[in-house]
Amino acid sequence: MPPTPSPEPDRRPLSRGDVKVLSLSALGGALEFYDFIIFVYFATVIGQLFFPPEMPEWLRQIQTFGIFAAGYLVRPLGGVLMAHFGDLLGRKRMFTLSILLMALPTLAIGCLPTYADIGYLAPLVLVCLRMLQGAAVGGEVPGAWVFVSEHVPRRHVGLACGTLSAGLAAGILIGSLVSAAMKAHFSTPALAEGAWRIPFLIGGAFGLIAVYLRRWLHETPVFAELRERRALAAELPVKTVLRDHLGGVLVAGAVSWILTAAIIVVMLMTPPLLAAQYSGLDASLANVVAILCLIVGCVLAGWCADRFGSGATLIGWSALLGVSYWLMMSVVGTHPQQLMPLYALAGFAVGITGAIPVIAVKAFPPAVRFSGLSFSYNVAYALFGGFTPIIVTTLMRWYPMSPAIYVGALAVMGMLLGLYLLYSMAGRRLAVMSQF
């Protein structure tokens, strides 16, 4: 009988090497996510510049969010391709390639002619560039979660994923701060004249810096061991995932759906929606505070997943997300002075995104982990995240509380899924105990 592997690697504390991996990964993720998300903060001015001026404002907004959605719809293709090679050739190579594919289109958007210059070719090229960005982020986010989770001891996977998610949230914060600085420094006509390009040019530079930083990262020990034992996937990894791990796909896809609602609706869409619904209500500063709370919430939720288990953490954070966002959306109209503390609480609740990747990463074995996570996450994001802005924006014309209902429904789904995870874990423990 072969010797039992020592459990020591799983019990060791985080090393300096682990901290370096987490720091560089989180920083690179922040810079790349800034590149993808900055489009949202300048969606209004982009809509005015890249569509005919006689177009109705509501249709212009929907078409602009449609271009935003295009970046999500292509994510499954980019994610599956990068994950395929990540499972066969290595995590690090794809981890670096994804950020390069993000930086170049961001630079190109900053240099793109507008509708006044080249007519309908302008929005068509913009859609293509957003699709390239979507393909890049489709490989980046699941690849980053796999990369950090395979570098740290098993009992710290939650903290690692939470830290990485906090880095991605920091990218949103950078975008928010850059947007606020630009709108404070430049007038609306100056932004439309060309100042809107500056954040995209900055983002391209950020991306190239992140490419350089990732040169200092090493391949994950898990993949290196798989390669040494010749235990890599023997066939197309995604084929193995769909044939043998459909349950994992469903679980990872479900939690990814919750993530889309938390990030897209609560953090990205809420400020412009509140401004459109309540004249004079500026949620920009409250959004910055909410993102700061989100960063803290991500790390704490990841730690809780390590300490109390993924199921219990998902139940608690889902309940907090649904209740806090409903409370905020129902109160701010009559008590606008409550916006700051309520948005801060809702932002902290969005920290559920720090615990979600723990569930998704553990749903697949190492040989097909990248492909399984990437397929589940990106398909869910394309189906639910891509169309969410259009659906919510349209429904709000008839029922202003539509965003809160949408987030609340997914919060209930999260609590039910958490109960399922608790039940499954209890069943596995009973099965182990019955062997003795």
CATH of the domain at 327: 1.20.1250.20
Q: Please say whether the beta carbons of 287 and 273 come within 8 A.
A: no
| Structure token digits, residue 102 | 């993000």
SS3 content of the chain, % helix, strand, coil (to 5): 85, 0, 15
pLDDT per position as a tens digit, 188-229: 888 888 899 999 998 888 888 877 877 776 666 666 666 655
Calculate the alpha carbon distances from 103 to 33, 75, 99, 111, 133 in Å.
Answer: 10, 16, 6, 13, 8
Residue 113: closest CA among 102, 124, 104, 103: 124
* pLDDT score of 427: 44
Is the CB of residue 164 less than 8 Å from the CB of residue 149?
A: no
Is residue 47 situated within a structural domain? yes
Average pLDDT over residues 18-41: 78
Does 132 map to a domain?
Answer: yes
Domain count, the chain: 1
Q: Which of 83-92, 139-148, 176-185, 268-277 has the lowest mean pLDDT?
A: 83-92
3-state secondary structure of 185: helix
Asked whether 88 and 238 are in contact (CB, 8 A), the reply is no
pLDDT at 3: 38
CA dihedral defined by 211, 212, 217, 219, rounded to 10 degrees? 50
Amino acid, res. 106: T
Handedness of CA 404, 406, 410, 413 (dihedral sign): positive
What is d(CA 16, CA 10) in angstroms, rounded to the nearest whole number? 16
- For 252-305, the DSSP string reads HHHHHHHHHIIIIIIIIIHHHHHHHHSTT---HHHHHHHHHHHHHHHHHHHHHH
Residue that wins the pLDDT comparison between 196 and 59: 196
Say whether pLDDT at 429 is over 50. no
- Structural domain span for residue 203: 16-217+236-429
pLDDT of residue 96: 73
Q: What is the pLDDT of residue 419?
A: 92
Closest CA to 58 of 398, 401, 328, 386: 398
CA angle 322, 328, 331 (to 5 degrees): 130
In a domain, 225, yes or no: no
Residue 142 lies in a domain: yes
Residue 92 located in a structural domain: yes
Torsion on CA atoms 247, 385, 313, 286, rounded to nearest 10 = 180
Residue 223 lies in a domain: no
Residue 370's nearest CA partner among 152, 22, 89 is 89
Q: Supply the DSSP symbol for 376.
A: H
Dist. CA 422–CA 358, nearest whole Å: 14
d(CA 256, CA 253): 5
Tell me what pLDDT residue 323 has.
96
Determine how many CB atoms are found less than 10 A away from the CB of residue 10: 13
| 268 within domain boundaries | yes
CA distance 272 to 94: 35
Q: Which of 6-10, 113-117, 232-236 has the lowest mean pLDDT?
A: 6-10
Residue 197 CA to residue 112 CA, distance in Å, equals: 9
Helix, strand or coil, per DSSP, at residue 64 = helix
The per-residue DSSP string of 299-355 comes to HHHHHHHHHH-HHHHHHHHHHHHHHHHHHHHHHTTT-GGGHHHHHHHHHHHGGGGGT
pLDDT per residue as tens digits for the range 121-168: 888 888 888 888 878 877 778 888 888 887 788 888 899 899 989 988
Angle between helices 75-88 and 121-149 (to 10 degrees): 40
- Tell me: the pLDDT tens digits for 253-277? 999 999 988 988 998 888 888 877 7
Residue 247 within a domain: yes
